[in-house]
Amino acid sequence: MTNFADLGLSETTLEALTNVGYSEPSPIQEQTIPALLEGRDIIGQAQTGSGKTAAFGLPIIEYIDPDGPTAQALVLTPTRELCIQVTQALRAYGEPKGVDVVAVFGGAPIKGQQAQLRDGGHIVVGTVGRVSDLMQRASLILHDCRFVVLDEADEMLDLGFLEDVEKILMQTPNGRQTALFSATMPPPIRKLADRFLYEPEVIRVQAPTLTVDTVEQFQVEVDQKAKPDMLVEVLAEEKPTQAIVFVRTKVRCDQLYKRLRDRGMNVKALHGDMSQGSRDGVMLGFKGGRVPILVATDVAARGLDISTVTHVINYDVPSSPDVYVHRIGRTGRVGRSGRAITFVEPRQKGELEAIEKHIGAGISPWAPGATTEPAAVSEGPRRHDKPEVGRRRRRRSRSRESEPANGSSPDGGEAPATDDTAWAKLVVSAGSADGIEPADLVRVVTAEAGIGGEEVRDVKILERFAFLSVPEDRAKGVVEAVSGADCNGTRLELEPAGR
């Protein structure tokens, strides 16, 4: 069996690994470390928790000259939480060698980070926005940067950071060595790699197959309008010690949190639009067991490692099978059992089948008191007949939809669009450079156009513009109503995408 000494690491680095308790390399480390030590660019496709921080961090430590210039290496991360996690690991790896690691991220005073950079910083670990800001202020100079890592590049894409990432890379030396890590490889990430990496070696590490030995997995077929009521029913039946409820967007996170809170539940929200102080407070309460239910987005929940989480509920189907694996891995930890329940709208059956094929097991229907009898998946996922209780629930949800409510939803708000709604994508003439956040945009659109928050989807804020989707039959009215409106001091102009 390979050990770290076989990978070509120095005695000083091996000492650091002994100090942190590492004994044998993980698959991603075993494949990546030798390639990086040889000076190759690499693309690493691996999940969170696979050990990729050490995979790129240990070769960086080998490269760093403690007596040389500052900013010899840059690690870009999509979130503050990941930035802190990577910084802590690199400091542990580099301590015997005297390597100085500086973390730079939003939500903390920039002057303090500028002072740290002036005092040292052989390795800079930072979020994309804060690194861009420091470069514009000439507080971070990358002329001597020999090594660049893009960690969780697909998350940077989802957050709209790819344009800024390209600008940062263009300010680094052409002769740098670059490592890109991403759980998935959508076309924009491949294009980025083609442009900025030189003959990269591609390293893929498959996620381990999940079994119900640690996580029992269930599905609930439910119409969009019936989701809030179904969630309350599931929580009442399951009685979780602690549960994370995953939603797709920050706006939906706030909406669901308020609905559960208004029903008297002890619940908190966690998403990227919250202030760092608020996020830290929520995390302390959840980790301390004072908050039993956490409604969270995927990005905000990255790095959560809380052994007392008994349930994960996918209120929104994950964007990919890899994200599903990451989500349900938040429960069933440290030898404990966990339960994962995924809400599936009728139009999302194909997405569920892709998840079943990915994990190599069928996902059983949920019913009160349900336990799993998983079936192996060979050529394709197993299809399950829904029990009578499921059919009754669907009839109930359809009857609720047919009740005349003057355009209101079961919980009192404006009725969201139905499942077969056609959606139109709109372009907004303002972005993060104008101080626009997703919540600001949704607030203005709903107020000016008189539509409900559920009718604004897929909000993505880029530097100079933004995107959102609304029901196709409302698009013209939304464009007319919102164009010219003020958002945080900026005049908005909307138009259909593709014009």
**For the chain, which residues make up each domain, given as ranges?**
4-204, 215-370, 423-496
Can you read off the two tokens belonging to residue 271? 């998403």
Residues of the chain with pLDDT below 70 are 1, 47-50, 206-213, 276, 299-305, 333-335, 370-420, 454, 463, 498-499
Q: Which helix (H) or strand (E) holds 389?
A: helix 388-402
The pLDDT tens digits of the residues spanning 207-222 come to 554 444 578 999 999 9
- Give pLDDT, residue 357: 82
Neighbours of 497 (CB within 10 A): 11
Q: What is the pLDDT of residues 450-471, one digit of tens each?
A: 887 767 887 878 767 788 888 8
**What is the second-level CATH architecture of the domain 4-204?**
3-Layer(aba) Sandwich (3.40)
Which letter does DSSP use for residue 207 in this model? Answer: P
Strand order in the sheet with 147-150: 101-104, 123-127, 73-77, 147-150, 177-181, 42-45, 201-204
121: left (phi over 0), alpha (psi -120 to 50) or beta: left
The pLDDT value recorded for residue 191 is 93
> Which residue(s) pair with 469 in the sheet?
425, 457
Report the first-to-last Cα separation within the chain, whole angstroms. 58
Residue carrying the six token digits 């409820």: 245
Neighbours of 204 (CB within 10 A): 12
**CA 333 – CA 234 distance, rounded (Å):** 22
> How many CB atoms lie under 10 A from the CB of residue 6?
12
Asked whether 75 and 123 are in contact (CB, 8 A), the reply is: yes
Please determine whether the domains at 215-370 and 423-496 fall in the same fold group of CATH.
no
Please give the Cα distance from 183 to 206 (Å, whole number).
10
Report pLDDT for 37: 94
Task: Kindly write down the DSSP assignment for every residue of 220-265, as one continuous string.
Answer: EE--GGGHHHHHHHHHHHH--SSEEEE-SSHHHHHHHHHHHHHTT-
Class of domain 423-496: alpha beta
Which stretches does DSSP call E strand in 5-94?
Answer: 42-45, 73-77
DSSP 108-133: S-HHHHHHHHHH--SEEEEEHHHHHH
Question: Quick one: CATH architecture of 215-370?
Answer: 3-Layer(aba) Sandwich (3.40)
Q: What is the model's pLDDT at position 305?
A: 63
Nearest one of 147, 11, 122, 130 to 82, comparing CA atoms: 130
* Residue 443: predicted pLDDT: 82
The predicted pLDDT at position 414 comes to 36
Q: Would you call 478 helix, strand, or coil by DSSP?
A: helix
Pairing state between β 457-461 and 466-471: antiparallel
pLDDT given at position 61: 95
Query: Which residue in 363, 327, 342 sits closest to 49, CA to CA?
Result: 327
Where do runs of H (alpha helix) occur along 309-386?
321-328, 349-359
